[in-house]
Amino acid sequence: MKKGDKELVRTAFEMAVEAHKTMRRKSGEPYILHPLAVAQICVEEIGLGVRSTICALLHDTVEDTDVTLEDVAREFGNEIARIIDGLTKIATVVDANSTQQAENFKKILLTLTDDPRVILIKLADRLHNMRTLDSMKREKQLKISSETVYVYAPLAHRLGLYNIKTEMEDLSMKYLEPDTYKEIARKLSETKRERTRYINEFIKPIKEKMDKAGFTEYEIYGRPKSIHSISNKIKKKGVSFEEVYDLFAIRMIIDAPQEKEKEDCWKAYSIVTDMYTPSPERLRDWLSNPKSNGYEALHTTVMGPQGKWVEVQIRTKRMNEIAEKGLAAHWKYKEGTGDEDRFDKWFHNIREALNNQESSSLDFLQDFKSSFLAEEIYVYTPKGDVKMLPLGATALDFAFSVHSDVGSRCIGAKVNHKLVPIAHKLRSGDQIEIITSSKQKPSEDWLNFVVTAKARTKIKDALKEGKRKIADEGKYILQRKLEQMGASFDIHNVDTLTQFYKLPSQLDLFYKISTKTIELKELRELTLHGDKLELPKPAKPILEPKHEYDPNKAAPSAKDSELIIFGESSDKIVYTLANCCKPIPGDDVFGFVSTGKGLIIHRTNCPNASRLLANFGHRVVKTKWAKNKEISFLTGIKIIGVDDVGVVSKITNLISSELRLNISAITIEAKEGVFEGNIKIFVHDKDELDELVNRLLKLSGIETVERYDTEQ
């Protein structure tokens, strides 16, 4: 600490204590413990300095207490006031097509590009909220967790804060999929001893060789993979816990002077691969080409003792600090390097995307996720310059990253001298030359395959421009028509017509009139009132529908609003079960109020859940099942096993005769001695399904039985 810093931190602390003195957190503890913990995370886990610590201590004061930004500026100067302004959650701006969350996020990013400390403190704030989520209500836990996994964890990853990213993902999973989380945690602790033994056996010969080779300062140890990443492996690869081979990774950290770093890392690599055979396709060299979040390391996967694959990560002390402290450590080492920093490039691109005010916040959030938080690939221009693009980028994305005109006129590309279509997906290391034509112009279907925000924005702009020209013609047609009727061409009338034809905007109305998609014959149905058009009144009285859940009506008492019960009292509320995850009674579920469809029930581990919960948290209703034996629900199971005589009759016998369940459809295919069966059955609840799965697994020759959720 410099002279006088201590007093500043003390003043900030006292200001925060005073401001929050009457407040408590949900858990009942004094509120001041939260800003203190956030400041601690900033210092210890992110490695930020004095100014950030002051901001962390005061981050909630302006929003929640009587302290104003002016007070902060007077006491600590403008820079700190600006960061706190960025942190002060934004007065909830909810416009019709976006949600508070996406809006907040956009504002946070605007400040981020001025001062990245804002986002780092915001991440510390979110991490502490995740650590203390236990005292929150269940729906709050779901909303906050899914938002974390959807936006904040990828952001932490992108800023190089691996430890924080991992912890955020693990904590989110603890609330979103509690059963899976507990199960994996239990298995990890049960296998801990044999893992430790294995790691020691693996490391010993490497240590001996390292010492012989003259390495003195180095560490080598094993660290377990996160629960979240193990669960992802299980889901993606469709394997069981026991079959996940990389439950841990071996890390080698070498103390080397900066000019010898690469050399020493490759030396260590050759020592490891002399001992154990490496898998050729699993070598990742981020020494020569660091990731854009600053990460540098060598990763390889080798065949260890007992025929197990082991991942080994090799890096130096400096690289390790960057890997753990990300952005903050990056600045420390940045002084003195002349090249424009990758981070700065990234921030510059975000600024560009933010300046485009056209898109709604939700679109922005989608674009942000796909183009700024994705892993990158490196590609080359014909002259050999490197460009970074998100994974999944196409030749067209590359064209737009060169220049928007090149993108708009792109008709194809040569990738490594071979001709490819514009939708061709690029891979790391490709060299790309774009082919353009002056006759080409962007079309609607381009939006289906580009992934970068820049390309999307430029295509949308070009389409809008084209649409506007055509729409102008429609405007005149409508004006003439209205004047003939004696109605005036004004905002009210145009809005009335836009509503009447159920269109999203006036532009669409003019466009459709111009392209003759809308004939204006129906104008007769509209009544004139003065010179104002009025929508036709419905003639017949509409039958009273079942009461749909309406979030805007006065909320019932707290007890009622918590639970919506399916089963016995299901006649009170219109609800539908989501098709994407087919919930059945007993599943962990939440209700989602959709426009027009009433309440839709999703499972909390449904593939769409984190998006819905993160973007539309205010529409989520906590739901619970009631036991009801009258209603059956359709669900499906997938069975894989050894093809044996009579296996089908064993299965159907168990389902129909013993458990007396109704089968709705059954298909069984056998191939090369293995059969795969898909069975759709009606069950009353999850217990019944679980019993069925357990009983099936006991039949001889059956390997796996899984429930499947999606339409298959």
pTM over 0.95: no
With contact defined as beta carbons under 8 Å apart, do 119 and 108 qualify? Answer: yes
Rounded distance between C-alpha atoms, residue 497 and residue 477, angstroms: 14
**Cα–Cα distances in angstroms (integers) from residue 292 to residues 367, 393, 400, in the given order:** 18, 16, 20
Mean pLDDT along residues 275-284: 86
Ranges for all domains in the chain classified under CATH 1.10.3210.10: 5-177
Asked if 708 contacts 637 with a C-beta cutoff of 8 angstroms, the reply is: yes
Percent of the chain whose pLDDT exceeds 70? 79
- Tokens representing 684 are 């009353």
Average pLDDT over every residue of 579-604: 80
Cβ–Cβ < 8 Å for 279, 222: no
Q: What is the pLDDT of residue 61?
A: 82
DSSP 295: -
For the stretch 193-230, pLDDT in tens is: 888 898 999 999 999 999 998 888 899 988 888 888 88
CATH fit for domain 633-708, picks 2.60.40.10, 3.40.50.261, 3.30.70.260, 3.90.1300.10: 3.30.70.260
CATH of 185-334, one of 3.30.460.10, 3.40.50.720, 3.40.1790.10, 3.40.50.300: 3.30.460.10
What pLDDT does 562 receive?
44
The string of pLDDT tens digits covering residues 535-554 is 655 444 444 444 444 444 43
Q: What's the rounded Cα separation, in Å, for the pair 415 and 382?
A: 10
**Cβ atoms within 10 Å of 596's Cβ, excluding its own:** 5
Contact call for residues 161 and 46 (beta carbons, < 8 A) = yes
Band (pLDDT 50/70/90 cuts) for residue 400 is very high
pLDDT of amino acid 547: 45
Of the candidates 438, 418, 427, the residue with the CA atom closest to the CA atom of residue 394: 427
Residue 160, token pair as written in the block: 């190089």
Q: Which residue has the higher pLDDT, 547 or 278?
A: 278
Contacts of 3 (CB under 8 A, 6+ apart): none
Residues tagged active-site: 63-64
Average pLDDT, the chain: 79
Q: Cα-atom radius of gyration of the chain, to the nearest Å?
A: 30
pLDDT for the residue numbered 345: 65
Residue 476: what residue type? Y
Tokens 């900066």, located at residue: 258
pLDDT of the residue at 92: 35
Pair of tokens at residue 232:
């992802």
Residue 670: pLDDT above 70?
A: yes
Give the strand order in the sheet containing 432-436. 418-420, 410-415, 432-436
pLDDT score at 556: 39
pLDDT at 712: 45
* Residues facing residue 412 across a β-bridge: 435
Mean predicted confidence (pLDDT) in 629-644: 82
Q: Decide yes or no: CATH 3.30.70.20 for domain 5-177.
A: no
Q: pLDDT tens digit string along 308-325?
A: 888 899 999 888 887 777
Domain with CATH 3.30.70.260 in the chain: 633-708
Q: Which of 19-28, 102-111, 258-267, 537-546 has the highest mean pLDDT?
A: 258-267
pLDDT of residue 603: 85
Give me the mean pLDDT over the 414-428 stretch: 88
Enumerate the CATH 3.10.20.30 domain ranges in the chain, comma separated. 374-443
Pairwise CA distance, residues 399 & 393, whole Å: 11
CA within 13 Å, CB half, 519: 3
b/e per residue 337-358 (b: at least 16 CB within 10 A): eeeeebbeebbebbeebbebee
Query: What is the structure's pLDDT at 252?
Result: 93
The CATH 3.30.460.10 portion of the chain extends over 185-334
> Taken in order 74, 80, 82, 83, is the CA torsion positive or negative?
negative
Q: What is the pLDDT of residue 103?
A: 61
Read off the tokens for 54. Answer: 């002051």
- For residue 78, the one-letter residue type is N
Q: What would the pLDDT profile of 447-481 be if each residue is shown by its tens digit?
A: 888 888 888 888 888 888 888 888 888 888 888 88
> Has domain 374-443 been given CATH number 3.10.20.30?
yes
Q: Give residue 330's pLDDT.
A: 59
**What pLDDT, on the 0 to 100 scale, is given for residue 551?**
45
Structure tokens at 535: 């929508």
Q: pLDDT (tens digit, 9 = 90+) per residue, 449-458? A: 888 888 888 8
The answer to whether residue 269 scores a pLDDT higher than 90 is yes
DSSP assignment of 298-316: EEEEEEEGGGEEEEEEEEE
